[in-house]
Structure 1
Amino acid sequence: MIEAETRGDTMAPINFAATREDGGIWSNLDKSLITQPLLAHPVALRDCTGLTQPPSLESEGFEAHRLTFERADWRNPEWVEAIGSPRTMAFIRERTGAVHIAPFHGHMALIRDTGDPAQPAAAEFVHLDHSRTSALPFIARCAPQDVRARYPHVRIYNVWRVLTPPPHDLPLAICDQRTIDSADWVEGRTVEPMMPEGVPYVTTVHNPAQRWNWFSGLTPEDALIFKAWDSAPSAPFGCLHGAFRNPLAPAGAVPRASAELRYIAFFEA
């Protein structure tokens, strides 16, 4: 049972871009490369756990669902490729009505483990993983040309799962996509050993109009789905997100570990 005092709306500092001029460099694997200037702002976070009118992909841009697996093993690439990712991909198709789905990372789960120094830790700043243009080479690589030509409307969805029980010391904050202003965007680059040139991504300066959310009750049986990219220029681009230090978490809370999968969804219109 999750204690009541670890649930509910809260205030917490969240890291935003410190300047509009430079998003700097971020690296998940080599902290010595990070140059991104950040500035923390106190932010009100709505707890979406148990709401009578929960958020949805089409409005806020995110939703949570119970999606259970028998003997789940998200750290095992063979299990993820054979069982975890295909079933998750089918669930995304069902929820979105996409006519074609392609795995973004070849059915790979991205593991973040704040309690294991050998693993990348949670990213404690707000971001979208790609800019409007930096996702295009990945889409071209992951989907056949005939699919891309036939279905020009493309979205990228992230599916995020905790691997540790609540309450979480570093939950995920997620922004209502309707409250994000592209005028606040700052472009940075994710640089890793296998990507020395870097992949542009989007962060943002703080804007009081942004509406931030979290889920206090997520368990390893749950999946948080959010839109991370949209090819339609008239649609909200996606949900800014990032880890934050939870003021409601008790001392000694299990360090948060998570698994994230990404999918490219194609639509007829």
Structure 2
Amino acid sequence: MAATAALARDPAPLREVDATLGFTRRSDETLYTYAYDPPVGQPRTNVEPDERQVRIADARPVADTLSLDVEGFALVRHRTAVRDFWDEAQTLALGHPEAAGIVKAATGASRVVVFDHTLRRRLSGTEDRTAGLPRQPAGRVHVDQTLASGPQRIRDLMGDEAEALLRKRNAIINVWRPIARTARDWPLALGDASSIAPEDLLPSELRFPHRTGEIYLVAHNPAQRWLHIPDLAPDEALLIKCWDSAEGVARFAPHGAFEDPTTPPGVPPRESIEFRTIAFFD
């Protein structure tokens, strides 16, 4: 059952927190951001931020009802065998197969490929993608893929298999989990996919030296519903839908980090990892 249905039946509303999320202003231009020093005379980005205070509901009481195909995200419980995710060898040898297994068990996919992972450790006052420093929590609300980039990602990764695979259902799903400690600092806000209008998803190019990717940024809309699962523990993981070839299900779940005003002072900075996976269905 979806969280929306659970809320409608339960007379006690979920606890909410008012917090700021990093939305993006609508634009008639093609949005872009360079992931490297841009050409001379070109700004790094033409994305205009639009920070808004919204109400974010504590979904912990209905976490077991959340669905990848309804809200676009789900909570799973899983104890990892990885002792140190910052050890690349451990993460590749143990973390990648674990992430594939988590997604396969949650979705019933016949095959899951893990194609990437990103580690984050918050450092106060540091911008994301600062050379030589860990990646920072992504404060801009976004979706990792788009209608165009989802299939292209499969073509880029799967070679001669790609076209045959694309004739069946495929989904790109992130496995996001805290590491080292509970994620009380800068948790994730998740947009209920059933409340996100297609016109709120703004295609934005990510320009790299040798390729151009595309993500969705998100324009604010009062009809959107935002949730989070507080105190996410290292033996829990969030599954986040980033693209689905199937229609009639949640295809994109926007998400972004936020500063929770109820976080106690002195909480250690958040550390997390996200695995990016492709689920293939027969």
User: Normalising TM by the smaller chain, what interval?
Assistant: 0.7 to 0.9
1:184-224 CA distances to partner (integer Å, 9 max, x unpaired)? Answer: 221112234xx455311111211111111101120122111
Aligned pair partner of 1:249 in 243, 263, 269: 263
Task: Tell me whether 1:9 sits opposite 2:24 in the alignment.
Answer: no
Closer/same/farther in 2, CA of residues 111 and 233 from structure 1, 3 Å limit:
same
2:164 to 128, 145, 149: 149
Q: Distance in 1 between matches of 2:269 and 2:33?
A: 22
Matched, 1:21 2:36: no
Deviates more, 1:47-56 or 1:92-101: 47-56
Mapped pair 1:89 → 2:97: no
Partner of 1:113: 121
Instruction: Describe the superposition over 1:219-247 as per-residue Cα deviations: whole angstroms up to 9, x where unpaired.
Output: 12211111110112443321000111111
Which residue pairs with 1:235 in the alignment?
249
Structure 2 residue aligned with 1:70: 81
CA RMSD of aligned residues (A): 2.5
1:132 and 2:147 aligned: yes
Is the CA contact 1:33–1:191 (under 8 Å) kept in the aligned structure 2?
no
Tell me the SS of whatever aligns to 2:230.
Answer: coil
Q: Secondary structure at the match of 1:91?
A: helix
Aligned length: 257
Aligned-partner residue type, residue 263 of structure 2:
A
Residue pair 2:82, 2:94 contacting (<8 A) in 1 also = no
2:232 maps to 1:218 = yes
Post-superposition Cα deviations, 1:68-88, rounded to whole Å, max 9, x if no partner, equal: 123532222211111111022
**What runs of 5+ residues in structure 2 fail to find an aligned partner?**
1-13, 127-132
Q: 1:165 aligns with which of 181, 204, 218?
A: 181
Q: Percent identity?
A: 28
Q: Residues 167 and 98 (structure 1 numbering): CA distance in 2 closer, same or farther, change over 3 Å?
A: closer
TM-score calculated relative to the size of structure 1: 0.85
Alpha-carbon shift at residue 59 of structure 1 (Å): 1.8
2:173 partner SS: strand
Moved more, 60-69 or 144-153: 144-153
Give the residue type in structure 1 aligned to 2:118.
L
Aligned equivalent of 2:109, options 98, 105, 109: 98
Quick one: which amino acid aligns to residue 195 of structure 2? T
Q: Give the conservation status (yes or no) of the 8 Å contact 1:160–1:260.
A: yes
Residue 258 in 1 paired to residue 252 in 2? no
2:44 is matched with 33
Distance 2:121 2:50 in 1: 23
* Cα distance in 2 between the residues matched to 1:202 and 1:97: 27
Conserved? CA contact 2:241–2:250, under 8 Å: no
Deviation track 1:130-149 (CA, whole Å, cap 9, x = no partner) reads 22112323212333544751
Which stretch shows the higher mean deviation, 221-230 or 7-16? 7-16
Shift in Å, 1:22: 4.3
The separation in 1 between residues aligned to 2:100 and 2:183, in whole angstroms, is 27
